[in-house]
């Protein structure tokens, strides 16, 4: 109940927060966000509610906030939220613990830090392989790693990783599924542009 109520309060204030801080620099936004979270926490304690958020809830909450920042182009704030989520994910022993790692990888990929992106995408892939085997999420992680390998010029390794990921997507979802179609199209572009025929 606590987690749901806290999320409702923060969600109700997020639009106002984003509107009122859109012209601030990233540091000011981060400080104000922390103040807002503290205010909500204090209000809830005053009302006799205690924090019973599980690590899983904290991971999803932090990742959701990070995704909002990422969609607004605030990579620094997004990365901060994803790193916080990563701390909580360490207490989880399932495939969901890979989510913050994948989110961190996406920020580093977006800002052109392909080796760092590859590091986090690879960690995410390892977790997904352990818990999910050859599932759709594992395939997506493979394709993310392949994109990083492509960007750092390791074309043979990128080819192999793309091929594995796309094979899984085609098997699990079918080649006409939107995810499979996009992956196949990107793989074909990669082969045309980077591999000698």
pLDDT at 2: 57
- Is 168 within a domain? yes
- Is 126 within a domain? no
Residue 75: phi and psi, rounded to 5, are -65, -35
The whole-angstrom separation of Cα 194 and Cα 8 is 48
- Is 183 within a domain? yes
- Is 118 within a domain? no
Same domain membership, residue 139 and residue 103: no
pLDDT at 28: 79
CB-based burial label for 177 (10 Å; 0-12, 13-18, 19+): middle
pLDDT at 156: 95
Same domain membership, residue 73 and residue 16: yes
Same domain membership, residue 94 and residue 139: no
Count of structural domains, the chain: 2
Q: In 10 A of CB 17, how many CB atoms?
A: 16
Structural domain harbouring 21: 1-113
Q: Say if pTM beats, i.e. exceeds, 0.85.
A: no
pLDDT at 24: 73
Same domain membership, residue 3 and residue 100: yes
pLDDT at 197: 46
- Is 128 within a domain? no
> Which regions in the chain score pLDDT beneath 70?
1-7, 10, 15, 17-18, 21, 45, 47-52, 196-197
Same domain membership, residue 5 and residue 73: yes
Contact by Cβ (8 Å): 107, 72:
no
- Is 184 within a domain? yes
Who's near 23: CB < 8 A, 6+ residues apart? none
């Amino acid at each position: 109940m606590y987690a749901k109520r806290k999320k409702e309060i923060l969600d109700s204030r997020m639009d106002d927060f984003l509107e009122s801080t859109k012209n601030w620099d990233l540091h000011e936004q981060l400080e104000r966000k922390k103040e807002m979270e503290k205010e909500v926490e204090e209000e809830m304690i005053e009302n006799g509610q205690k924090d019973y958020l599980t690590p899983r809830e904290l991971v999803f909450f932090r990742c959701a906030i990070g995704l909002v920042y990422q969609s607004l182009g605030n990579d620094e704030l997004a990365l901060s939220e994803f790193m916080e989520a990563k701390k909580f994910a360490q207490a989880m022993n399932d495939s969901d613990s890979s989510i913050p790692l994948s989110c961190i990888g996406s920020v580093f990929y977006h800002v052109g830090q392909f080796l760092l992106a590859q590091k986090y995408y690879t960690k995410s892939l390892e977790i997904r392989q352990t818990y999910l085997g050859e599932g759709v999420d594992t395939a997506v992680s493979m394709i993310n790693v392949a994109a990083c390998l492509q960007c750092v010029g390791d074309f043979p390794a990128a080819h192999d990783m793309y091929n594995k990921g796309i094979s899984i997507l085609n098997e699990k979802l079918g080649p006409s599924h939107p995810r499979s179609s996009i992956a196949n199209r990107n793989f074909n572009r990669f082969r045309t542009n980077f591999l000698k025929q």
